[in-house]
């Protein structure tokens, strides 16, 4: 029996394992390795942050994959031995015929002085729970939400979160006593989307009385201040941040990566330079045509990449030529509060620049996002 080994059990790894096992059945042994025992659905983090979701409602034990005859191993990956087609973990030596690297990124908060002491990471499940606890006792003062550095995954998410904070305090009736500040190294919100989308987000921030500081270089955080370059200081009582993203050390020590540590792949098939070795999701160095910037990193893209890789592995395993191609198309929905959300379509392989739209807030988009959350948690991990 042929063996496919998938490293990482985020959205990309979960989709790849499900689709491949469904196609191949008993003809393919599918094994997934992740160091964490549980999956937490990141699309619901903004709702968890303001108390509209409980931690349990958006979490699933990864051992549920075993119900689908997908082997799940909770362990730390120590070494990728490409020469012998095997992966070494702390407890196992795992051979493979096909390897899918879906390890995502790690949050290196220690690279920003003061982050670990004074900041809650809005992309970290445990910290989002703490944010919810903190804001319920936050009656007045300034909350500063900042993005540490580029690139970061899911470009709309920080803005989505600050909109939901605005909504939360308005519902509590103390928004007039709470200042919200958004700080980003971007030249404008979602710069790859173009000036029209950026201006739309800027206007919405202004309408909600949320201060925006762009082109900011974060130097560090003190107890009551975010320190920027050029001597700029942003005072605050609470600091929420997106920590710098790094690829895992086990990946950066290979020859598969570019100068920033991301895995170089064929943009249409997600193949690496090694035969039968693929990489998907946030760990990849996918580049946009013409401008050569990194393509946006988000769960929906990892989802589609996982489907493509799974179907092409199935073709190869059956002696057929792989025929599926990743298109760079997708969509996402941004919560804006008050039972509304903004729907966005993306085609980031479009030339000469990515094609990205952002619709006005609507009830329909909100309901679509809620439905997708239920679908994802009930379809892929039940």
Could you say which residues of the chain have pLDDT below 50? none
**Which pLDDT score, from 0 to 100, does residue 122 have?**
98
**Which pLDDT score, from 0 to 100, does residue 231 have?**
94
DSSP string, 132-191: HHHHTT--SEEEEEEE-SS--S-TTHHHHHHHHHHHHHHHHT-GGGEEEEEE-SSSSSSG
Q: What is the mean pLDDT of the chain?
A: 96
**Which pLDDT score, from 0 to 100, does residue 88 have?**
98
**Which pLDDT score, from 0 to 100, does residue 291 have?**
83
**Which pLDDT score, from 0 to 100, does residue 266 have?**
97
**Which pLDDT score, from 0 to 100, does residue 371 have?**
97
pLDDT tens, residue by residue, 275-293: 999 999 999 999 988 888 8
Phi, psi of 381, deg, nearest 5 = -130, 30
DSSP code for 26: G
pTM: 0.96
pLDDT tens, residue by residue, 177-197: 999 999 999 999 998 888 999
Distance of CA 279 to the CA centre of its chain: 15
């Amino acid at each position: 029996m042929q063996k496919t080994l998938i490293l990482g059990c985020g959205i990309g790894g979960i989709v790849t394992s499900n689709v491949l096992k469904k196609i191949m059945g008993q003809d393919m042994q599918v094994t997934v390795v992740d160091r964490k025992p549980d999956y937490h659905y990141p699309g619901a983090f903004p709702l968890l942050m303001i108390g509209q979701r409980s931690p349990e409602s958006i979490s699933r034990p990864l051992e549920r994959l075993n119900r689908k005859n997908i082997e799940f191993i909770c362990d730390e990956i120590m070494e990728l031995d490409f020469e012998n087609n095997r992966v070494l973990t702390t407890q196992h030596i795992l051979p493979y015929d096909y390897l899918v690297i879906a390890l995502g990124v790690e949050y290196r908060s220690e690279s920003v002085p003061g982050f670990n002491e004074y900041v809650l990471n809005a992309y970290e499940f445990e910290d989002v729970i703490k944010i919810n606890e903190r804001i319920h006792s936050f009656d007045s003062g300034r909350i500063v939400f900042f993005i540490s550095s580029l690139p970061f995954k899911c470009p709309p998410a920080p803005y989505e979160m600050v909109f939901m904070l605005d909504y939360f305090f308005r519902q509590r009736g103390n928004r007039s006593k709470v200042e919200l500040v958004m700080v980003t190294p971007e030249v404008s919100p979602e710069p790859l989307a173009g000036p029209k989308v950026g201006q739309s987000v800027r206007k919405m921030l202004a309408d909600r009385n949320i201060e925006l500081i762009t082109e900011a270089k974060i130097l560090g955080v003190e107890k009551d201040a975010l320190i920027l370059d050029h001597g700029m200081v942003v005072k605050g009582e609470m600091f929420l941040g997106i920590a710098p993203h790094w690829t895992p050390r086990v990946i950066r020590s290979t020859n598969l990566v570019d100068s920033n540590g991301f895995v170089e792949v064929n943009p249409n098939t997600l193949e690496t330079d090694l035969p039968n070795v693929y990489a998907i999701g946030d760990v990849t160095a996918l580049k946009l045509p013409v401008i050569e910037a990194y393509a946006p990193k988000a769960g929906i893209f990892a989802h589609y990449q996982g489907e493509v890789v799974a179907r092409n592995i199935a073709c190869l395993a059956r002696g057929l030529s792989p025929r599926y191609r990743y298109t760079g198309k997708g969509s996402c929905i941004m919560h804006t509060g008050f039972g509304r959300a903004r729907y966005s379509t993306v085609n980031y392989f479009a030339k000469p620049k990515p094609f990205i739209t952002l619709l006005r807030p609507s009830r329909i988009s909100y309901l679509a996002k809620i439905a997708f959350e239920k679908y994802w948690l009930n379809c892929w991990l039940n």
